Amino acid sequence: MTRVELDGAFADAVRRKSAAISASDASGVVAASAEILRVAREILAGKSSSGKPARLTDEESAALFWAAYHPVKFAPAGKGSEAMMRFADEVKWLESIGYAFSPKERRIVDELPFCGVPELFRRWVHEQISCGFRPNPSAGVRTVFSWYRDRPGEKVPESFVDFLAENLDFDRQWFPFYYGEMLSRLGRGAEGVREREREAKEKPTDFRRWMALAECYAAVPRRMVACLAKALTCTILPAERAPGIRASLERRLRAAAKLDGRTPPARLDAAALERLAAPTREFLVSNVPVTKGVLSGTRLSRDGRRLAEITYEGRDGSPATVTLPMPPELGRMPIGAQLRLRIVRHGDADKIIDFGVRPTGVASSRKGASRSAQKSGACGSRRRNRT
């Protein structure tokens, strides 16, 4: 066929496809789409009048992606996986001829293979792991994790878990969390528990860490209750998630009460949650050495929040000072109060996870202040916290 005839056949196939879409004729859409792609390949296989490789017109190029995609959208029942596999092959062909995907088309290419086609998804996972999930490891790993999390029956590939284990430092916020979840899916529960415990210690204010750890303790009701209660006290907790976690906690409290006979609290107010979550504090500070510190000052932030300045012994032995929102434990402490800090150190960052007040120094300083006040007779001589 001449180029003019091929262009005419291409345009005719595009018209038939549009008519089939308007009439909701699925078989017509599939047939016309196949014809568009066939003619496009024949055009590109030819030569121009000047002897150079033939090129498609802009109108013809614009029809290519949708000719590859629409057979998936209009695939008959039971043929979806087969259509998806063909779509993946057509995408590779489009990439090979230098097709420029629009943002919408690229999004379809990135998301569509994960909608119910396990074979295609597993092939994609293998390819992504082999290239290190480039160019965006975080997005790629998140996609894989979400897909397997929503499909409990799918076996997680060991290669994916190995990739996470080797790249935990790439994304310290999420990769360790994904790693613990996937270990549990593979039946390596003990390793998963240790990873989740470590994550909870590193990010104790994130409710997701405690929810993940609660799942590990399903067979230990009181530990699970403590983790759920701790999740409800976290500063990182979306408002829409709190009711569901609270309902789960109430169910677990009733189940635990049947086993050990303890009466659950009548109300899950802040005080009750703190009591229920108390066991997690011991877990958080276990195996974390004590570092001496002092409440060296307080001040107000620009938005009116009260801040605490804490000085402690740094890594090299020299004093280090950190400013952070005033912890509830230190709200009534005087300037100069001696603290027994527990600090989790990871990389170059230090995170204080416990602000225990040292029993020595604080009480004596208060007694000294009161005695000096009595001797001087001055009512306002006691030092006040600066705010």
Domain residue spans of the chain: 210-284, 287-376
pTM of the model: 0.47
* Contact between residue 53 and residue 44 where contact means Cβ atoms under 8 Å apart: yes
Cα 17 from chain centroid (whole Å): 42
**What is residue 76's predicted lDDT score, i.e. its pLDDT?**
78
Residue 40: band (very low, low, confident or very high) from pLDDT cuts 50, 70, 90: very high
Q: Which tens digit of pLDDT belongs to each residue from 76-122?
A: 776 766 787 788 889 889 989 999 999 888 888 877 656 556 777 77
- Whether residue 70 is predicted with pLDDT greater than 60 in this model: the reply is yes
**For residues 212-239, average pLDDT:** 86
**Per-residue model confidence (pLDDT) at position 33:** 95
Rounded to an integer, the average pLDDT of 198-225 is: 83
The crossing angle, in degrees rounded to 10, of helices 137-149 and 175-185 is: 30
User: Residue 350, SS3?
Assistant: strand
Query: Would you call 319 exposed, middle or buried from its count of C-beta atoms within 10 A (0-12, 13-18, 19+)?
Result: exposed
Query: Taking the domain 287-376, which CATH number applies?
Result: 2.40.50
Q: Classify residue 117 by burial, with Cβ atoms within 10 Å: 0-12, 13-18, 19+.
A: buried
Strand ranges in the chain using DSSP code E only, listed in sequence order: 290-300, 306-313, 319-325, 338-346, 349-357
Residue 16 sits at the vertex; the CA angle it makes with 15 and 22, to the nearest 5 degrees, is 90
Give the pLDDT of residue 379.
Answer: 33
What is the C-alpha to C-alpha distance for residues 144 and 175, in angstroms, rounded to an integer? 12
Q: How confident is the model at residue 367 (pLDDT cuts 50, 70, 90)?
A: very low
pLDDT, tens only, 131-140: 888 877 888 8
Q: What mean pLDDT comes out for the span 242-262?
A: 88
High-pLDDT (> 70) share of the chain, % = 87
Is the distance from CB of 180 to CB of 199 less than 8 angstroms?
A: yes
